[in-house]
Amino acid sequence: MEMYSGQIGKLIEELAALPGIGNKSAQRLAFHLINMPKDKVDRLAHVMMEAREGVRYCKECFTLTDRDVCPVCANAARNHKLIMVVENTRDLAAYEKTGKYEGVYHVLHGAISPMLGIGPGDIKLKELIARLEGDVDEVIIATNSSLEGETTAMYISKLIKPTGIKVTIIASGVPVGGDLEYIDEVTLLRALEGRIEL
C-alpha cells in the first residue's frame, strides 16, 4: 500500500538515498521542505545547484573549494613546508576545527583498498609526490585507523622515505572518556607506543 502520493514519495525516496539519512529522517525532511515558504525552498535548491556546479578541487591540496586555491593553501601564514595527508575533506575540516595545526594539507579522496578495487592510481598519490618536489620538510600521514587507512599510510611512507623528507604518522589510542576494558588491543598498544612524557 502506498502511504504517500507520488511526489511526496519521490521526495522521501531521494532524501533517503543521501548518506546518513534513514527513512524516518527523510520523511521529516520532506514534510519540512513541503511546509517551507516557496522562496526558501527556491534559495535552498539554488544554493545546492551552485555548489554542485561551482565546487572543484583546489589546485594545490585537492580539497573541495569554490576557488582555484582553497583558503588554507592561499594563506601565506601557514607552514607550506609541512603537509598533512588526509583521506577526505571532512578529515581536513576536523583538523582545522582544532585550530592547532599550522601546516597545509593534501587530500587523497580515498584510501587504498584491494577488496574494493581501489589502487594507488585511484587516489591523489601522484599529485602528492609532485608536491614533494618543492620545498617540503615533513609529511604527516593522518589516514584513518582502518585496514585501508593503514595500508595507505604504509604505501605513502615507502614512497616518501627515499626522498629524505621526514615522514610521521599521527598517534592513535584511547579516546577521551573511553573505558580501557572496552578498547581493542591494537588501540591500547598504539596508545602505549604513542605515549608522551609529562
Please work out, in degrees rounded to the nearest 5, the angle formed at the alpha carbon of residue 83 by the alpha carbons of 153 and 128: 65
What pLDDT is recorded for position 170?
Answer: 84
What pLDDT is recorded for position 107?
Answer: 97
What pLDDT is recorded for position 172?
Answer: 73
What pLDDT is recorded for position 133?
Answer: 92
Supply the CATH classification number for the domain 77-172: 3.40.1360.10
C-alpha closest to that of 120 among 151, 86, 166? 151
- pLDDT tens by residue, 155-167: 999 999 999 999 9
What pLDDT is recorded for position 74?
Answer: 97
Q: How many CB atoms lie within 10 A of CB 167?
A: 17
Ordered per-residue pLDDT tens for the chain, 198 residues = 356 678 998 999 999 999 999 999 999 999 999 999 999 999 999 999 999 999 999 999 999 999 999 999 999 999 999 999 999 999 999 889 888 889 999 999 999 998 889 999 999 999 999 999 989 999 999 888 888 888 999 999 999 999 999 998 887 776 666 666 666 777 777 767 776 554
3-state secondary structure 80-117: EEEEEEECCHHHHHHHHHHCCCCEEEEECCCCCEHHHC
Beta bridge partners of 118: 113
What pLDDT is recorded for position 21?
Answer: 93
Q: How many CB atoms lie within 10 A of CB 9?
A: 13
**For the whole model, what pTM was predicted?**
0.79
Specify the amino acid at residue 61: C
- Domain borders along the chain are 77-172
